[in-house]
Structure 1
């Protein structure tokens, strides 16, 4: 009976794949972040999260997503070196990591109308506008890909020494061309990577630690030199 049920279920999925029309797909959930790095120079926070059920993707679909990080965690970015660019990516794949369409068919996936917005944002400097969200930039036009994915390269718009936290992300995109017939997505991947000294995983709500700007450090050094000279004169 179990085998028969599985056959009926598989037949139903195949029928749906052959008869469905483009739709809006909405996905919400939480993610457990994993940490990896390259020596002490580069760190990456990522997650491969199974969907509650396989979702049928096809050309013309509008995909919307909204995730928070599990365990009350936040990712903190601190600007240490001006104009640092970070990559933030979201992709949908098969459970085994394969793309939704065969990679050897030579037909790329094309997506447009892209958006990734950081949520639960705290800007950790005096007078900051803590609106709670920060939309990331997409410098390049939509490109042909081998996966159903979008990736932002963004500077976060911070000055040296400024920090921000975020506890999740949301966004959307349109599948202009899936590169093949309708296919079921089973997992969603998220990743962000950058220099270890600028990217940290912290508990949400952890107070920020200001990083002195070069001018501030110079003034502090001058002050310490002057103080030392004064103490020496008093001893004499």
Structure 2
């Protein structure tokens, strides 16, 4: 059976066919089966729907349980947490004027303390910048060692006198020379240690001065009292 296969059709606004390109075809044709309506092109179709009633029932039960849990938590919030939150908000509102007044007093106290704190800060920074006198520290260390050796020398001379040792003898002079060498070494070590310690102290002072915040301390105290 021949069929007309249209490849191009031109129709005007009135519905007249202006162009119609087609060809005749006689061969196998794959047709879409209709839904059984009137005037269908022959054939019929059917759809099979499978429903898992057990699964649907379980899902419905689970959904109802979840709704029940949500209702229980809502009731718990309504009966216990909601009154607490309302009371807390009311307490905060009542305490707000007191906190505001306290904060104003703290700011006033901080303002009054600023001149004295600035003066103290200036002294601290000046002392930190000036540092300690390195030469003075070295001289004090040397004096301490010399004083210690003076006491030691006096004790040695008394011991020698008790034993009848002549201070002008070669043996005594040799002992004295050894003590002088030890004394000089200790003095040099004391001066070096004092110098290193003084320089390190000056460095530490400058470090603290560079990191010092003149107003940070009192403002931090106010923040701690507010929290």
Q: Common fold, TM-score beyond 0.5?
A: no
Which has a greater percent of helix? 2
Tell which has more relative contact order, 1 or 2 (C-alpha 8 A, sep 6+): 1
Q: TM-score if structure 1 supplies the norm length?
A: 0.17
**Structure ranking higher in strand proportion:** 1
- Normalised by the length of structure 2, the TM-score is 0.17
